[in-house]
Amino acid sequence: MADEFRNPFKELDKKLREVPPEMRKKVMNDVAIAKLIMDLAILVTSNYSSLLAGLFRTNRRK
């Protein structure tokens, strides 16, 4: 049973292999799309607090 156990941290020292260019391009494209979606979500949701505050604000004139 002890022979079947492999320590994954010992494999970190091993030499890394090069990634194929088409896979690298696909991953980088996916990361760019995810970043764009996050930026758009922040842009849309960042002003909700001020929008709601302005919606419920009443102008009281003396």
The residue that leads in pLDDT, 4 or 19, is: 19
What pTM value is reported for the model? 0.52
6 has a pLDDT exceeding 60 = yes
Domain ranges of the chain: 19-62
What pLDDT does 26 receive?
97
pLDDT at 2 over 70: no
> What is the secondary structure of 4-49 as a DSSP string?
T---GGGGGGSPPPPPPHHHHHHHHHHHHHHHHHHHHHHHHHTTHH
CB hemisphere CA count around 58 (13 angstroms) = 3
Higher pLDDT, 9 or 33: 33
